Each structure stands twice: as C-alpha cells, then as structure tokens.
A = this chain, B = another copy of it.
Amino acid sequence: MPRVRLQDVAEHAGVSTKTVSNVVNDYPHVTPEMRARVLASIAELGYRPNATARRLATGRTGTLALAVSDVSIPYFAELARTVARQAAARGYRLLLEQTGDSIEAERSMLLGRESGLVDGLIFQPSRLETAELARYTLHAPMVLIGENAAPDSVDNVMIDNVRAARRVTDHLVGLGCRRIGFVGHEAGGISETSRQRLEGLHAALRDAGVPVLPELEIATSAIGAAQAEEAVGAALDAGIEVDGFFCRDDLSALGTLRALRVRGVAVPDDVAVVGWDDVAWAPFVQPTLTSVRPNTERLAQIALDLLEERIAGESGPGRHLIVEHSLVVRESAPASRPR
C-alpha cells in the first residue's frame, strides 16, 4: 500500500496540483499533452486519490446508509440488494446498518454520534414511533420506508398496507373462508406494520359481513418461521377453528404451512394461507404461496429520488408516496376452490 499523494504526482509530472486534480476529476480545459503527461505519472506512481481528503474538501461522502432491523430477513435482503444496486448506479456506495429490532439501536442510528458519515439515509423503522421520530435533529437527510406512519416533516414511501390487507381478506372471503386467522403480529407490542394489516383485515371483514374474531389472531414472539410454527401449532393443538390464515409476512406463512402440514391439515382445501412480501422462495414451497408483492424496485427508486432531492437541498414538507402492490395468487390460496 504505497502512499502516493496528489502532490507527488504533480511534482513527478512537473505541473501544479490543480492540474493533476483537473485530470483526475475529468475537468475539461486541459490540453491533451498535459493530460497524457499527468496520466503517465499517475500510472507510474500508482496514485489513487484519497477518498477521505476528497470528502473533507467537497463536503460530499458519496455514501448512503440503509437501516433495517436484520438483513437476513428475506424481504430486507431483497430490499438491500435492490437499493445497493440502484445506489451504485447513481454513484453512491451503501453503508448497511442493522438495528436488530431494538429501539435503542434505532435511536442511536438516527442521532448519529458523528456527522458527515453519509450524505443520506434510508430507514425502515420497526419500533420507533412517529412522535419521537419527528423530534430529532437528523445529521443527514432521511427517507423513511415501510408502513410506519411517518411524521409530516419527513419523506416516506410505502405500500398501502390497509388496502393490500383488504385485498388479501377479500380474496380469502371469496374463497369461502369465514373464520380467518391472522398470524405474526408481535406478541410484545404490536408494530405499525402489523397494526395496519390487521386494520385492513377487520375493515374488509366488516364490509363483507363476516364476523371479526380477534381470538383467531395469533401473535408471535418475533418475526420468523420457527416462531410462527410454534404459535400456530399451539393454537391448533388448543382446538382453534379456522378456514384461512392471513400471515403478516412470508416467513410467518412458511411456519404456518409447516404447522398445518405436520398436523395433517390440507392447504388450501381445509385452510387457505396467504403470505406477504412474495419473497424469492414463495413460488417454490409446497404448496406454492399466495402472497402480496410490493414493487420493491419502484420503492427503492422513489426512495432514492426523494433522497437525492433532499441532498440537493430540497427543504419542503415531507412527501408521503405510495408504491403499487399486487396479490400473486398461487396454490396456497388459489383463485377458486372446490367446495
């Protein structure tokens, strides 16, 4: 790791630092001979500009941060892939922050003990609430994603959870389900995400004249297939009667499918199951999973658009944008079912 500075190149080439800088930054107005001479010196000395010094001088870091609770959750993994790719295409690097579902971690990530670390932040809160969020002085522009009710002052992009949840419910009701269970909301303090999905479920049931049965709502200790399998299994063993399960996410659906299978309950004949996120493996499990698919590419694109505007200085009130979703119908809750 040789330590060659811009100035070394300048001396070697017999020009000023400004000229070298111009060449490195592809500025126009440099004679071809100068440029060639400088490039030759750069190659000979193996010069690489120092990112830190450049940042200090320009005030831009060329880096964005993405903060989610856990990248290994399939939806977040796919989101990270998409955001990283699109950010790279726009010339940004991506810093990954995991809050691990802890409100403390979310706070300290927002407060950021240092400034000038990133140019902007894309954040999917899982525990922090609007009111608190609105109080903070951020160290960089931020765009919120996901279904948390964002404060009016902050940009936010999400899918319409209530509407999507209504659609899931309508689909199940259309299949003849009258006792629809819900799986996967947090046992210890429900998240805004789960709250909105439950709200959509309830609203659609009421509209359809189907009774709302809170006793069929099965909370889990954490997001995950194992937790869902355990909770659903316990409920089934306790004699719960359902003919459909609306799962908070595909991971819960996976656990639910297994709990049902182990007990010999047929899907979709006895119980229909719908998941949420339409992760990569949804079309491959047995039975293939009906699921809500958010348009993640578009979500990432809009989030980055909003963020770049903020970085460029936009200072208006927070914009709250909705990204489309669709319901991908597969075997676990097909278009229609023999009765």
Contacts and interface: CB of A to CB of B under 8 A. Distances in A.
Interface of A: 1-2, 46, 48-56, 61, 63, 70-72, 74, 77-78, 80-81, 84-85, 88, 93-98, 100, 112-117, 137-140, 224-226, 229, 254-255, 257-258, 261, 280-281, 283-286
Nearest to A46: B137
B114 A98 contact: no
- Most chain B beta-carbon neighbours within 10 Å: one of A46, A84, A281: A281
B1 A139 contact: yes
Contact of A71 (B81, B97, B140): B81
Contacts of A286: 257-258, 261, 285-286
Given A84-B98, A112-B48, A114-B51, A72 B78 contact: yes
Contacts of A81: 70-72, 98
Contact of A139 (B48, B88, B284): B48
Contacts of A46: 137
The oligomer's copy count stands at 2
Contacts of A138: 1
B85 A117 contact: no
B113 A48 contact: yes
A255 B281 CA distance: 9
- Most chain B beta-carbon neighbours within 10 Å: one of A1, A115, A257: A115
Given A1-B138, A63-B95, A85-B98, 20 more contacts: A46-B137, A48-B115, A48-B139, A49-B115, A51-B116, A55-B55, A71-B80, A71-B81, A72-B77, A80-B80, A81-B98, A84-B97, A85-B100, A88-B98, A94-B96, A225-B280, A254-B281, A257-B284, A285-B285, A286-B286
A55 B61 CA distance: 12
A284 B1 contact: no
Nearest to A70: B81
- Most chain B beta-carbon neighbours within 10 Å: one of A50, A52, A54: A52
A71 B78 CA distance: 7
